[in-house]
A and B are shown apart, each in its own frame.
Chain A
């Protein structure tokens, strides 16, 4: 597979930009939710350990 066909596949024709916007937003939302929750859980555990 050469480079041109890879770019062709990734750009998905005329409307590829819409698909990519949705993908980026989906993973931004999912990623930030996971990171935020993880950080909150870690903070809560830390707080509990300090108190105990």
Chain B
């Protein structure tokens, strides 16, 4: 029954029709909302008592680091759906998440290191979270280059999905072990984790920016998956009627 449902409603054709209709308005909607969250956070909240104004990077950094991990989990779910039910659409979505994930992870690293300059006095610290985010970034790049290296895209989808599933099992292990490793360094005197509990004045815009950023990034994923579907289903007959 589930299989039938998937094949009827989750074919690339009907997905593309829905995405073509609603994708862009939703993307623009969340873009504007996120812009609003940023304006709220950047200009209408008081500066932090310790970090001054540089803490405002939080409204971009935290949503990005959050999404960097969520996107991998989403990719794992779609990969599992692809491997279990052989659903083409899931493979397309899974593949189109990878570049977006790499971009978001890169931005999380970048904004983190810019934030580090005024607060830690250094742009890089071998701290557990930064290191595991860097590893995540490399994993995204590895996945992209694995998919790109195969001419036979059906095979590439399978390998990609297998590797994503191995990766999603490994990410918690990597994170835990990196946490364990970083206790080697006694010099981590300033960490992000020892941040004081956040004031509601800053918390609400932060929550709002996280939620809208999630919407924004999923809008991007939909756009990217449309591109992927067009690229892969070029020779199917339904594409002619768009």
Binding site for B on A (CB under 8 A): 9-10, 12-16, 18-19, 21-23, 25-26, 29-30, 33-34, 37-38, 40-41, 44-45, 47-49, 52
Contacts and interface: CB of A to CB of B under 8 A. Distances in A.
Given A15-B53, A18-B115, A22-B114, A41 B226 contact: yes
A9 B106 CA distance: 29
What size tier do the contact residues of chain B reach? Answer: 35 or more
A47 B242 CA distance: 12
B80 interface: no
B242 A48 contact: yes
Nearest to B236: A48
A17 B167 CA distance: 37
Contacts of B227: 37, 40-41, 44
Nearest to B63: A26
Given A33-B103, A37-B220, A41-B226, 12 more contacts: A12-B47, A13-B53, A14-B52, A15-B54, A23-B42, A37-B227, A41-B223, A41-B227, A44-B227, A44-B230, A47-B234, A48-B230
A16 B106 CA distance: 22
B27 A22 contact: no
8 contacts: A16-B53, A19-B53, A22-B110, A25-B107, A30-B216, A34-B220, A45-B230, A48-B230
B224 A18 contact: no
Given A26-B111, A38-B223, A41-B226, A19 B240 contact: no
A18 B54 contact: yes
Given A29-B107, A33-B220, A18 B47 contact: no
A9 B54 contact: no
Contact of A26 (B107, B115, B226, B234): B107
